[in-house]
Amino acid sequence: MAKAANGPLGPINGKIGNLVCYMLNGQPVIRTIGDPGKPSRDQLANRQAMSVTMKMVGAISKFTDLSFALEAKGTVRNTHNLATSYIKKQALKGEYPNISIDYSKVILSNGTLPVATGLKMEKKDNAVELSWDHQGHDNTIVMVMLYHPLRKRATVDVNACRKDAGACIIQLHDGYIDEPIEAYLCFRSADGKSTSNSTYIGNLNGEMESGEQATQRKRYSALKGRFDLVEAQYSLQMEQNRGMPLDSKAFRNLQKEYEMLRNKLENLPGKPV
């Protein structure tokens, strides 16, 4: 049962049919509950997009909790909402079931401070050295985030150094230095009242296939091999019967397997790009 404590024009709290009403951060929210039925392809695509997004958002929260704090202040949104929204709406590529992140388009902060220029990145033993252009005395704080796609983890330093240092070195855990690294940087004023837009510095070590991606590719390849055989048999029999299905149990089984494999391939990740 739902209640309208403030009258018919006020917010509702409780359950009405398959709807649940409640307040979240001062805003009325209504959600559906129960079995939604078989998802459409668009729904599956949205779920994968959210899953891909959340794997990165969860890993970089130490950075975005600070970098988006000013943008979230005074609104009904929080830093988690902002990070999720920017990545999901602006930094995804590919189509379901092969949606992934375009790291060059990831936004990690927005602000009015001048952005970094002359950025350079170099490997140093078990560390990464970053450098940028600077002039004179400047106590602006440098924030650095190195994302490790294979591990779905991030190396974060929200107080790497002052801007006038011109460079900083970020130490990495063992084994990280030779894996793909996506690097980002932004500036934050010493008083914490302003930030710059984040800058994508670039990638180190190129792209590598993760264990999960390798498994997906092998599964797709195996299923595609079986589908190609079944498709050839199905097409041959259809051609021999002038495009008409044969009235036999063997053909019906072949047709059923053909359609089943085709549908599976459409929703199976791992397809070669």
- Give residue 102's pLDDT: 97
- Co-location of 187 and 259 in the same domain: no
CATH code for position 71 = 2.60.40.10
Q: Are 200 and 186 in contact (CB under 8 A)?
A: no
259 found inside a domain: yes
Do 141 and 233 lie in one domain? The reply is no
Exposure letters 85-120 (e unless 16+ CB within 10 A, then b): ebbbeebbebebbbbbbebeebbbbbbebeebeebe
How many structural domains compose the chain? 3
Burial of 16 (0-12, 13-18, 19+ CB in 10 A): exposed
Q: In terms of domains, do 109 and 200 share one?
A: yes
Looking at the domain assignment, is residue 219 inside a domain? yes
How much is the pTM?
0.82
Is there a single domain that holds both residue 22 and residue 56? Answer: no
pLDDT at 228: 96
- Co-location of 89 and 143 in the same domain: yes
Split the chain (273 residues) into runs of 10 and give each run's mean pLDDT: 66 81 80 80 95 97 97 94 97 94 97 95 95 90 97 97 96 95 97 96 93 92 96 93 90 95 93 82
Question: Are 19 and 143 within one domain?
Answer: no
- Residue 192: its pLDDT value, please? 93
Are 163 and 187 within 8 A, CB to CB?
yes
Contact residues for 206 (Cβ-Cβ < 8 A; gap 6+): 180
Structural domain harbouring 19? 2-32
Question: 93 with 178, same domain?
Answer: yes
Q: What is the pLDDT of residue 3?
A: 64
